[in-house]
Structure 1
Amino acid sequence: MKVLFIAGFGPITPNVAESRRLYEEALGIRFKVEEGEYLHTEEVKGANTFAVWPLAQAAESCFGTAEWPADDPVPHAWLEFDVDDIESATRELEEQGYRLVRNRTEPWGQV
């Protein structure tokens, strides 16, 4: 597998307002606000996207429900890598025992 670059990184939060105060007011990061309080910017160097992801949206994306499953640790951050071959990378990681969110095409075209 060949990792090409960090596509995005950011915190996952149950409290978007509190996180927004930290990142916007204390650190001066300006976000675009999308549906459901998803905050993101492409202006922070080091990642193509830096985004504050509401926990309910992360649960919906990963498990199809707004509640994070009680038997899975609640995440505090997300990290995405772009790779040269998504199918091959998925297969390689699953063969090593990693449980992945199945690759799919997002509404904005990213796999």
Structure 2
Amino acid sequence: MEKRLQSTALFIAGFGPIAIEAQASREPYSRAFGIPFSEEKDGYLHTESLKGANTFALWPLSQAAQSCFGTDSWRSDIPVPQAWIEFDVDDVKAATAELESRGYRMLVRNRHEPWGQTVSRFIGPEGLLVGITFTPSMRGG
């Protein structure tokens, strides 16, 4: 049996954007996605109530561009994302409509991917590429 290094990643312990404008960052996650944050006195928002990530991936920018724009190049009029996150929801179309009603500009809307996922994406206030997805293969059963 191969000995595991002490630095081997076992699971994703946490993930989140670096917020420059706290209120703008809070809006999509807390209000639109209903994530129940605890707030520390220094403004640090956190939750331990969401289930962990099913996927951790180093997503090449060319593939993210292909997913959002259908080309291998990221559009110059949109900030290049520094990271990505996807939230699986029960109804992508409804979640997309709600986010758009709140002023978020979708880069891709309700796209059906070949592997069965439905996805919409936008750039969050911190430059994070945020996906709203329905992923049957991750739903178990």
* TM > 0.5 fold call: yes
Secondary structure of the corresponding residue to residue 67 of structure 2: helix
Work out the CA distance in 1 between the residues paired with 2:61 and 2:11: 22
Correspondence 1:104 to 2:111? yes
Once the 2 structures are TM-superposed, how far is the Cα of residue 104 of structure 1 from its aligned partner? Answer: 1.4
User: Which deviations, in whole Å up to 9, do the C-alpha atoms of 1:23-65 show, x marking residues without a partner?
Assistant: xxxx545xxxxxxxxxxxxx73520111110001111110111
TM-score (norm 1): 0.58
1:80 to 79, 86, 90: 86
Does the Cα contact within 8 Å between 1:68 and 1:74 map onto a contact in 2? yes
Q: Unaligned stretches of 5+ in structure 2?
A: 1-6, 13-51, 119-141
Deviating 4+ runs (over 3 angstroms): none
Percentage identity across paired residues of the two chains: 65
Indicate the structure (1 or 2) with the bigger Cα radius of gyration. Answer: 2
User: 1:62: which partner in 2?
Assistant: 68
TM-score (norm 2): 0.47
Secondary structure of the corresponding residue to residue 56 of structure 2: strand
User: 2:11: which partner in 1?
Assistant: 44
Work out the CA distance in 2 between the residues paired with 1:87 and 1:69: 24
User: 1:38: which partner in 2?
Assistant: none
The structure, 1 or 2, with the larger RCO (C-alpha pairs under 8 Å, 6+ apart) is 1
**Larger strand proportion, structure 1 or 2?**
1
Aligned length: 73
RMSD (Å), alpha carbons: 2.0
Q: Unaligned stretches of 5+ in structure 1?
A: 1-26, 30-42
**Larger helix proportion, structure 1 or 2?**
1
Does the Cα contact within 8 Å between 1:44 and 1:50 map onto a contact in 2? no
